[in-house]
Amino acid sequence: EVKDLYVNYGAIEAIKGISFTVQPGEIVTLIGANGAGKTTLMRMLCTLLKPTSGTICCNGKDIFSMGSEYRKLLGYLPQDFGFYPEFTVEDYLLYIGALKGIRPIVAKKRVKELIAKVGLSKAAHKKMKKLSGGMKRRAGIAQAMLNDPKILILDEPTAGLDPNERIRFRNLISELSEDRLVLLSTHIVSDIEYIANEIWLMKDGEILHKGSIDKLINSMTETVWECLVPKNRVSDFMEKYKISNMKSEINPVSYTHLRA
Ligand code: ATP
C-alpha cells in the first residue's frame, strides 16, 4: 500500500503524490515517456530509494523497516543490471542465488528450472558477455525469479527483445503472475496488451490513468481521431494538432491525430 508518495531530486519533483494498493495475482504495467518517474517509483518499491515523504507498506508494515523480511518477497530486474562478463549463465544465476542466501542444493535445482523456463537451456554454459541483448534480459528475469518472489518488479523487461522473444516473454509473465504481484514498465503498449490487467499511465511524476486497456481506449473517445487527409493538407494538420502516428498511403496521406 503506497500512500502520498513524493520524491524530490533537489529541485526536480520526480514523484508528485502517488497512492495505490496492489495485491498478488495482479499484473500492473507502468507506461510513460522517458523521465515520467517509472524507475524512481520502482526503485522505491524495492527499498533502493527512500521517498522524500509518504509511506510504502506491505501487509501493514513499513517496507523500509522490514529489511530482509521484505526483500525475501521481492524479485527485481533493473533497467541495467551488473554481472561478471566471464561467468556463464548458470554460474551467474548460482552466484546471485548465493547472494540471496538460497541454500546451494536448492539454488542448483531452481537455476536449472529457471534456465529452462526463460528458454536459455542451450545457452546455460555460454559466458554472459557473449549473450545477445534479449538473452541477457531473459537471464535478468531468471535472477529476479530465483527466490520465488511474491512481488516481481521488472523495469523495461522487453527492451532489446526480438518479436519471437516478446511473444515468449508475454507467455512467461502470464505464467509467472498466477500467485504473485507483477509490476513492470514499458514504452511498448503492444508488449503488454494481452497480459496486463492494469495499465497505469505515468506523466511528470503522476499517475494520470489507471485501468484496463479497454477503459483507457474508451477514455480517449472524442480525444483521438484517425483520418485520411490529402498530402497538401498534412502541414496544416501538423500545426493544429498533436500527431501520434502518421502513415503514408499512395495517395492521399493517412494519419492519426491527437488533440492537445
Ligand atoms: P525512463 O523511461 O527514461 O527510464 P522513467 O520514467 O523511469 O524514465 P525516472 O528515471 O524515474 O523516469 O526519472 C524521473 C525524473 O527524475 C526525471 O526528470 C529524471 O531526470 C529525474 N531523476 C531520476 N534520477 C535522478 C537522480 N539520481 N538525480 C536527479 N534527477 C533524477
DSSP secondary structure of the chain: -EEEEEEEETTEEEEEEEEE---TT-EEEEE--TTSSHHHHHHHHTTSS--SEEEEEETTEEHHHHTHHHHTTEEEE-SS----TTSBHHHHHHHHHHHTT--HHHHHHHHHHHHHHTT-GGGTTSBGGGS-HHHHHHHHHHHHHTT--SEEEEESTTTT--HHHHHHHHHHHHHHTTTSEEEEEES-HHHHTTT-SEEEEEETTEEEEEE-HHHHHHHTTTTEEEEEE-GGGHHHHHHHSEEEEEEE-SSSEEEEEE--
Q: Which of 6, 38, 201 to mutate to test the pocket of ligand 1 (most atoms within 8 A of CB)?
A: 38
Averaged pLDDT for residues 30-57: 94
Instruction: Kindly report the protein residue whose alpha carbon is nearest to atom 18 of ligand 1.
Output: 35
Separation of CA 12 and ligand 1 centre (Å): 9
Averaged pLDDT for residues 186-209: 82
On the question of pLDDT at 136 being above 70, the answer is yes
On the question of pLDDT at 172 being above 90, the answer is no
Name every protein residue with a CB atom under 6 angstroms from any ligand 1 atom. Answer: 9, 12, 14, 32, 34-40
On the question of pLDDT at 119 being above 70, the answer is yes
On the question of pLDDT at 73 being above 60, the answer is yes
Q: Which of 190-194, 215-219, 222-226 has the lowest mean pLDDT?
A: 190-194
Instruction: Kindly report the protein residue whose alpha carbon is nearest to atom 16 of ligand 1.
Output: 14
On the question of pLDDT at 248 being above 60, the answer is yes
**pLDDT score for 257:** 60
On the question of pLDDT at 173 being above 60, the answer is yes
Averaged pLDDT for residues 230-252: 81
Separation of CA 240 and ligand 1 centre (Å): 31
